[in-house]
Amino acid sequence: MKKLILSMALIGFTTLAFGQKKVYRAAEKNFKSGNLETALTEIEAATKDPETSGDPATYLLKAKIQTKMFGSDSTNTAENLEVGKTALATYLETAEKAGGKDSEIGKEVFAEDILGVPDNLRPYSIFTFKNVAFDKAIDRYNENDLEMAYSFFDLAGGVDLKDSVIHYNAGFLANDLGKFEEAKRHFGYLLDIPEYNKLNAYYFMVQILSGEDKNPEGAYDIVMAAREEYPEDKILAEYEIQLLLQLNKMDDAMASINEALKTDPNNPSILLRSGYLKEQSGDMDGAMADYMKSVQADPNYFEGNYYTGALMLEASRKILADLNTLSDSEWEKQSASMGQKADDYYRNSLPYFTKALEIRPDNTDIMAVLFQVHTRLKNTAEAEKLNKMLIEKLGPNWMDN
């Protein structure tokens, strides 16, 4: 009798297990034939049954179904994105239940996805999911839907932290969208890839830290780490100098400038910074020489033209200020020569400010400076021409602004 009862129990267990396996097989069949909603309902039932809920193969099939649902929806909306997030979570849960990548099911989860093969031959692994999400990101980018493009790149990047294409695109878009913490996260992944050319990632990180985060110390640390890897990069050398100036480390900045000029003596940006440091230290002649060299190196360098002209006007104003401090008798003796020297500085500034306006033709600040210079030099026609331009852009009362 006991044997009979035991046999009946075994039959019941076998029937139950077979029943659940039947549900799994039905879900698998519907997955392959494209009846995805039905397949998902069936596999959900299997994941909730005590007899099959612990089987990682059940969850792998669920992830495959969710991935196919994710890919088959071409709307690529926020709702579709949520389907993708759920699929990714299921893949990760499957890998955990399977005991990692090296288990039998784990190898299926992380099977390589071969692009271009018929759909029925794709493994529908986590890398299939990554490629589907990547395609959706490209679709949204091509439609100029940058928010969703970023979201799909970010989702795809969650599969592989070493996919440089995905994380660069995600970082670039995040930065463009003002998602600076997200941008730093993606660029940070790139900095952890040993063989990757990290220069652009370093550039973005420095710009975000020094600009948006107002963290020149952090930016400087990144620059110095970058220079360890790319000691010959000229842009990093400029960043280092710029950040040293921000941090008010003038001696270190000048040392870096002098070192940079040894290998790159005609770099207009570095020459400009050298001139700026000399100007701050009171070496006006040295500053003027460096500013002029920056324009000689690049005649279309706006900052070089502007700083050269501005320093000339400053020199002229200083002469006129000194003239006004003289006694009446000394003023009579020196006013002509000092006035002529001041006018010479005004006159010499003209080509630099004129070039600066040519480079940035809508810059009303430069127009106003040129108006004052031409007025001082009694170039009436030129002054009136600039006055009309300023009235057109700023209104008839532009001088009061």
pLDDT winner (highest mean) among 15-24, 88-97, 266-275: 88-97
Tokens of 401: 């602004």
Domain shared by 132 and 172, yes or no = no
Least confident of 44-53, 102-111, 260-269: 44-53
Mean pLDDT along residues 153-169 = 97
Task: Report whether 308 contacts 340 (CB < 8 A).
Answer: no
Both 25 and 142 in one domain: the answer is yes
Distance (Å, rounded) from C-alpha 349 to C-alpha 170?
A: 46
Same domain membership, residue 253 and residue 136 = no
For position 64, what pLDDT does the model report?
Answer: 96
Averaged pLDDT for residues 14-40: 78
pLDDT score of 14: 42
Predicted confidence (pLDDT) per residue in 343-358, tens digit: 999 999 999 999 999 9
Report if residue 247 sits inside a domain: yes
Range of the domain at 58: 16-159
Work out how many domains the chain is built from and give that number.
Answer: 3
Query: In this predicted structure, what is the pLDDT of residue 10?
Result: 40
Arithmetic mean of pLDDT over the chain = 91
Per the domain annotation, does 316 fall within a domain?
Answer: no
Over range 191-214, report the average pLDDT.
Answer: 96
Provide the pLDDT for residue 20: 56
Q: What is the pLDDT of residue 50?
A: 81
In a domain, 5, yes or no: no
Identify whether residues 228 and 118 lie together within a single domain: no
Q: Let me know if residue 41 belongs to a domain.
A: yes
Higher pLDDT, 22 or 384: 384
Cα 182 from chain centroid?
10
Q: Which residues are CB-neighbours of 100 under 8 A, at least 6 positions away?
A: 106
Residues 68 and 139 occupy one common structural domain:
yes
**Is 149 in the same domain as 60?**
yes
Domain end call among 265, 294, 328 = 265
Residue 303 has pLDDT above 80, yes or no: yes
d(CA 375, CA 276): 28
Say if residue 167 is in the same domain as residue 82.
no
pLDDT over threshold 90, residue 400: no
pLDDT, greater one: 300 or 23: 300
Of 69-83, 87-101, 183-197, 267-281, the least confident: 267-281
Residue showing tokens 């280092």:
240
Report yes or no on 323 lying in a domain: no
- Comparison of pLDDT for 25 and 289, the residue scoring more: 289
Answer whether residue 5 shows pLDDT above 70: no
